[in-house]
């Protein structure tokens, strides 16, 4: 008999290098079955996975299609359910691009300890990664971030200040990047930290809002673009854009002027969200230098080209 809560074998390749998963992974299908029984879910297809967890298509007790998501016990999934609950309470969730609503996904049920959630089912084959109009795709992300920007810091989430303190060690003058760019990043990190420590500026951030993490509703349903998979932290909104800036690089390269194209994305986002352009560029430069030096990123890495541009900001 086929186990309806079986875990894709390919997911093991993603998680085997992560800490704290040795005991979690073998029990994953048991966890899914336990959550399904608790929330009265029936299986409705084979499991799928990305970087942040496994998703099983299910149906609710009344037959409505949904998904059950269970995430690994790693730092970037720690606050997902708390953040989604906070975003759901935001008055800014009713944003629009043209006639299409833009909003964060709302959990139908969640268990913080299990890192499990029931979510509305979206169209996994229709993300902003493949949206034909890249400018509109950037605008959708900008509107999504503007919608959650009013959400104050949420208790229990990781803090950007702590991340910045850890990042200091990644800004290494190891010869992989011009020394002046590393020194610039160190100076800017100190400036960003001062702003990030201001309690009046601290918000609940998505922290991974790129094109693949915005899906469209399914065919036959009211159209909407829906943000998913926050790697939530408490911080400043100027920290948000980098995941969007480093993705869909082919569109950037095709312009013939990557620096100008990425700066245009920053301008688009700041016009909608009200974020500080200079601070956005400082945050991006710090993150780029940390990636290129601390991770010693190979030039063949998917994100090396955009980081190489942002490192010079």
The C-alpha atoms of residue 126 and residue 203 are separated, in whole angstroms, by: 29
Superfamily of domain 122-310: Aminoglycoside phosphotransferase (APH), C-terminal lobe (3.90.1200.10)
The C-alpha atoms of residue 208 and residue 232 are separated, in whole angstroms, by: 8
**pLDDT at position 92, please?**
64
pLDDT digits (tens, 9 = 90+) for 302-312: 999 999 999 99
Q: CA angle 269-272-278, nearest 5°?
A: 50
pLDDT average, residue stretch 116-124? 97
Within 8 A by CB and 6+ apart from 283, the residues are: 192, 236, 238, 239, 241, 242
Q: Where are the domains of the chain?
A: 122-310
**pLDDT at position 1, please?**
58
**pLDDT at position 53, please?**
86
Strand duo 233-235 + 214-216: pairing: unpaired
pLDDT digits (tens, 9 = 90+) for 220-245: 999 999 999 999 999 999 999 999 99
Q: Which helix (H) or strand (E) holds 34?
A: helix 28-39
pLDDT average, residue stretch 170-186? 90
Within 8 A by CB and 6+ apart from 27, the residues are: none
**pLDDT at position 213, please?**
96
- Find where tokens 């974020």 sit: 275
Question: Do residues 171 and 188 lie in contact, with contact meaning Cβ atoms separated by under 8 Å?
Answer: no
pLDDT digits (tens, 9 = 90+) for 275-295: 999 999 999 999 999 999 987
Name the percent of the chain lying above pLDDT 90: 79
pLDDT digits (tens, 9 = 90+) for 33-77: 999 999 999 999 999 987 778 999 999 999 999 999 999 887 777
């Amino acid at each position: 008999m086929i186990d309806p809560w079986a875990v894709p074998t390919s997911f093991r390749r993603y998680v085997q290098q992560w800490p704290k998963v040795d005991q979690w992974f073998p029990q994953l299908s048991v966890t899914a079955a336990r959550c399904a029984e608790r929330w009265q879910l029936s299986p409705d297809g084979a499991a799928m996975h990305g970087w942040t967890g496994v998703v099983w298509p299910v149906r609710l007790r009344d037959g409505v299609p949904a998904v059950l998501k269970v995430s690994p016990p790693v730092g970037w999934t720690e606050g997902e359910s708390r953040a989604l609950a906070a975003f759901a309470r935001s008055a800014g969730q009713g944003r629009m691009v043209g006639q299409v609503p833009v909003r964060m996904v709302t959990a139908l049920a969640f268990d913080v300890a299990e890192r499990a959630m029931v979510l509305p089912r979206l169209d996994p084959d229709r993300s902003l990664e493949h949206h034909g109009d890249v400018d509109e795709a950037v605008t959708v992300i900008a509107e999504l971030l503007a919608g959650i920007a009013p959400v104050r810091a949420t208790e229990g989430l990781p803090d950007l200040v702590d991340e910045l303190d850890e990042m200091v060690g990644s800004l290494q003058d190891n010869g992989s990047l011009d020394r002046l760019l590393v020194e610039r990043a160190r100076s800017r990190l100190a400036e960003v930290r001062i702003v990030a420590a201001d309690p009046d500026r601290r918000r609940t951030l998505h922290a991974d809002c790129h094109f693949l993490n915005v899906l469209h509703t399914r065919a036959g349903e009211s159209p909407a673009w829906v943000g998913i998979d926050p790697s939530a932290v408490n911080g400043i909104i100027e920290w948000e854009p980098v995941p969007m800036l480093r993705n869909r690089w082919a569109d950037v390269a095709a312009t013939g002027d990557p620096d100008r194209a990425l700066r245009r994305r920053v301008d688009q986002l700041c016009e909608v969200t009200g974020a500080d352009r200079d601070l956005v560029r400082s945050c991006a430069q710090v993150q780029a230098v940390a990636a290129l030096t601390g991770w010693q990123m190979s030039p063949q890495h998917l994100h090396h080209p955009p980081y190489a541009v942002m490192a010079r900001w």
